[in-house]
C-alpha cells in the first residue's frame, strides 16, 4: 500500500500509541474522581493540554478539548454568534471553507444571521482588501481557514486578522490542516480562536481542540458537568486527549525536518507529473501551500475512475475532501477557484506524510502516467479533440 491521503487522516504514530495504551487499559480512572486513578488521569490531561498549547504558543488554560475539528468549528461559530448577537448578526468567511464551517454558517443564516462568503482567487487566496470591503458595522466575526484541505493554499492569516482587529472584530481560523504541519503562533498571528484536530497529525481520531484567547468569554455549547473548566461538558476522552498531546509534542519536535522533507518530495512529485503527463494542471498556489499537498486536474478523465485504478495498484489518494467522497458533484473548493466542472471532476489530491519516500513517489508517477494513458485512450472527448487535431 502507498498511502498518499494524509489530509484525510493519518495513522497513529507509534509514540502516540505507546502514550495512549495505559489509558485504554490499566489506568481507567475518571479524571473527575477523587482517588489516585482519577488524579493520574487529570494530570495526564494537564500534560496533554500543555503539549497541545505549546504547538501554537498558547497558554494551556485556553485550550479546550473537543471530539474533533468539526465540533470545534460548530462550537466557535454558534457560540460567538450567541455571545455577540446584541452587537450584530453579520459573519464573514470564505466560499472554500470545510463543510464543518460552511454548513454551520448555513444553520446560522437560517437562524437570523447574515453571512458574507468571500470569493477566493484562482490560487485560493482571500485578500485583506476584500475583507476590509466586506466589513460592516454589525460584523461580529471573521472566520478564514488557515490552510485549505483540498488545494493546500495557506492564507495570509496575519494580514487578515489585522484587518478584523482594526475594526474590533474577532478572528477565528479553522487550522485543522495546518496544525502540527507548519509553525503557528497565535499571538503573533493575531488569532483569537482556532480549531484543530488530532487525527491529521498522527494522533487518534475523535479528538480535537478549540483555542480561545484570554479575555473572550465564549459560551459553552455542551451542557452538563464542569469538565474543561465548565466550557465543554462530558467525561473527558482521556486516551484520545493523551494521544493528541503526544502527537502535538512529536509534531513540534519533528516539524522543521518533516516540512523540509515533504516540501522536497512534493515539489519532485509536482514537477514529474507536470512534465510527464500532458493536459495536467496543478491546483492551488505554487508557493504558499502546505508542504505535503499536491492537487492536480487531468483533462479527459474522471477523478473517481482514476481513484479506482490507483486503488487497484495499491495507491490511496482522493479527489478532494474525505468528508464529501461519496458526493458525485464537483468539489466546491475547485469551483471556488474557478475550475470548470470537467476539470474539477478530473481532480486528484495526493497528500504526503512524514513517512512518504522518494521511491513511493516514483511508483505513483509511473502508475499515473500509465493509468491516464489508458483512460484517455478510451475517452471519446480525448480522441475527438486531441487525436484528430
Ligand atoms: N476542517 C478542515 C479544514 C478539515 O480538513 C477537517 C477534516 O478533514 C475538519 C475541519 C473536520 O475535522 P474532524 O475530522 O476532526 O471533525
pLDDT single digits (tens) 237-259: 999 999 999 999 999 999 999 99
What separation in angstroms does the CA of 43 have from each of 35, 99, 191, 203?
A: 12, 35, 28, 19
Atom of ligand 1 nearest to the CA of 145: 3
Atom of ligand 1 minimally distant from the CA of 208:
15
State the cell numbers at 153: 493554499
Residues with CB under 6 A from ligand 1: 68-70, 73, 98, 100, 145, 149, 174, 176-177, 197, 208, 323
| In the predicted structure, residue 321 carries a pLDDT above the cut 60 | no
316 by DSSP, 3-state: which? strand
Tens-place pLDDT, residues 69-114: 999 999 999 999 999 999 999 999 999 999 999 999 999 999 999 9
pLDDT in tens, 5-32: 999 999 999 999 999 999 999 888 999 9
Please give the Cα distance from 214 to 58 (Å, whole number).
Answer: 10
Please, what sign has the CA dihedral across residues 68, 213, 13, 326?
positive
Q: Does the model's pTM come out above 0.75? A: yes
- Could you read off the pLDDT of 146-184 as tens digits, one per residue? 999 999 999 999 999 999 999 999 999 999 999 999 999
Domain boundaries, the chain: 2-6+255-385, 57-235
Q: Is 124 left (phi over 0), alpha (psi -120 to 50) or beta?
A: left
Please state, as a whole number, how many other Cβ atoms lie within 10 Å of the Cβ of residue 282. 17
E-strand ranges in 257-370 read 280-282, 293-298, 315-316, 347-351
| Tens digit of each residue's pLDDT (9 = 90 or more) over 325-365 | 556 688 999 999 999 998 999 999 999 999 999 999 999 99
Residue that has been written with the C-alpha cell 452538563 in this structure = 224
Question: Roughly how many angstroms between the first and final C-alpha of the chain, as a whole number?
Answer: 39
Whole-angstrom Cα distance, residue 165 to residue 191? 10
Say what the pLDDT of residue 42 is: 97
For the annotated catalytic residues, the residue numbers are 323
User: Average pLDDT in the 201-221 region?
Assistant: 97
Residue located nearest, by CA, to atom 8 of ligand 1: 8
Confidence class for position 322, pLDDT limits 50, 70, 90: low
Architecture of domain 2-6+255-385: Alpha-Beta Complex (3.90)
Digit-coded pLDDT (tens) for 122-133 = 999 999 999 999
Please tell us whether the domain made up of 57-235 is placed in CATH 3.40.640.10. Answer: yes
Q: What is the mean pLDDT of residues 44-58?
A: 98
To test the ligand 1 pocket, which listed residue (6, 52, 69, 76) has its Cβ within 8 A of the most ligand atoms?
69
How far is 206 from 241, CA to CA, in rounded Å? 9
Model pLDDT, residue 45: 98
What is the H or E stretch that residue 264 is in? helix 238-276
Mean pLDDT rounded to a whole number for the chain: 96
Rounded average pLDDT over 132-145: 98
Amino acid at each position: 500500500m502507498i498511502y498518499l491521503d494524509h489530509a484525510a487522516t493519518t495513522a497513529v504514530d507509534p509514540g502516540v500509541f505507546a502514550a495512549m495504551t495505559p489509558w485504554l487499559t490499566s489506568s481507567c480512572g475518571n479524571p473527575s474522581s477523587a482517588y489516585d486513578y482519577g488524579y493520574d488521569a487529570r494530570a495526564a490531561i494537564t500534560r496533554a493540554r500543555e503539549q497541545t498549547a505549546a504547538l501554537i504558543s498558547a497558554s494551556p488554560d485556553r485550550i479546550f478539548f473537543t471530539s474533533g475539528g468539526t465540533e470545534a468549528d460548530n462550537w466557535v461559530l454558534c457560540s460567538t454568534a450567541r455571545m455577540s448577537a446584541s452587537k450584530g448578526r453579520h459573519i464573514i468567511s470564505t466560499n472554500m471553507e470545510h463543510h464543518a464551517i460552511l454548513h454551520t454558517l448555513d444553520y446560522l443564516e437560517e437562524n437570523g444571521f447574515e453571512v458574507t462568503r468571500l470569493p477566493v482567487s484562482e490560487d485560493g487566496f482571500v485578500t485583506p482588501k476584500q475583507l476590509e470591503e466586506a466589513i460592516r458595522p454589525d460584523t461580529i466575526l471573521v472566520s478564514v481557514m488557515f490552510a485549505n484541505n483540498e488545494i493546500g493554499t495557506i492564507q495570509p492569516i496575519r494580514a487578515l486578522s489585522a484587518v478584523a482587529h482594526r475594526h474590533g472584530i474577532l478572528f477565528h481560523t479553522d487550522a485543522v490542516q495546518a496544525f502540527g504541519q507548519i509553525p503557528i503562533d497565535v499571538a503573533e498571528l493575531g488569532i483569537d480562536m482556532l480549531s484543530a484536530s488530532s487525527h491529521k497529525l498522527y494522533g487518534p481520531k475523535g479528538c480535537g481542540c478549540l483555542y480561545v484567547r484570554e479575555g473572550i468569554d465564549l459560551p459553552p455549547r455542551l451542557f452538563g458537568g464542569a469538565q474543561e473548566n465548565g466550557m465543554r461538558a462530558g467525561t473527558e476522552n482521556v486516551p484520545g486527549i493523551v494521544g493528541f498531546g503526544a502527537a502535538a509534542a512529536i509534531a513540534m519536535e519533528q516539524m522543521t525536518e518533516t516540512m523540509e522533507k515533504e516540501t522536497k518530495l512534493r515539489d519532485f512529485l509536482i514537477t514529474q507529473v507536470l512534465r510527464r503527463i500532458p493536459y495536467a494542471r496543478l491546483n492551488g498556489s505554487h508557493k504558499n501551500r502546505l508542504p505535503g499537498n499536491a492537487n492536480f486536474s487531468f483533462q479527459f478523465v474522471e477523478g473517481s475512475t482514476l481513484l479506482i485504478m490507483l486503488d487497484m495498484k495499491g495507491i490511496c489518494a482522493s479527489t478532494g475532501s474525505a468528508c464529501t467522497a461519496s458526493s458525485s458533484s464537483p468539489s466546491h473548493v475547485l469551483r471556488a477557484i474557478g475550475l470548470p466542472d470537467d476539470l474539477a471532476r478530473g481532480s486528484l489530491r495526493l497528500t504526503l506524510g512524514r513517512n512518504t519516500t522518494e521511491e513511493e513517489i516514483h511508483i505513483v508517477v509511473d502508475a499515473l502516467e500509465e493509468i491516464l494513458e489508458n483512460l484517455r485512450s478510451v475517452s471519446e472527448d480525448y480522441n475527438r479533440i486531441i487525436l484528430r487535431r
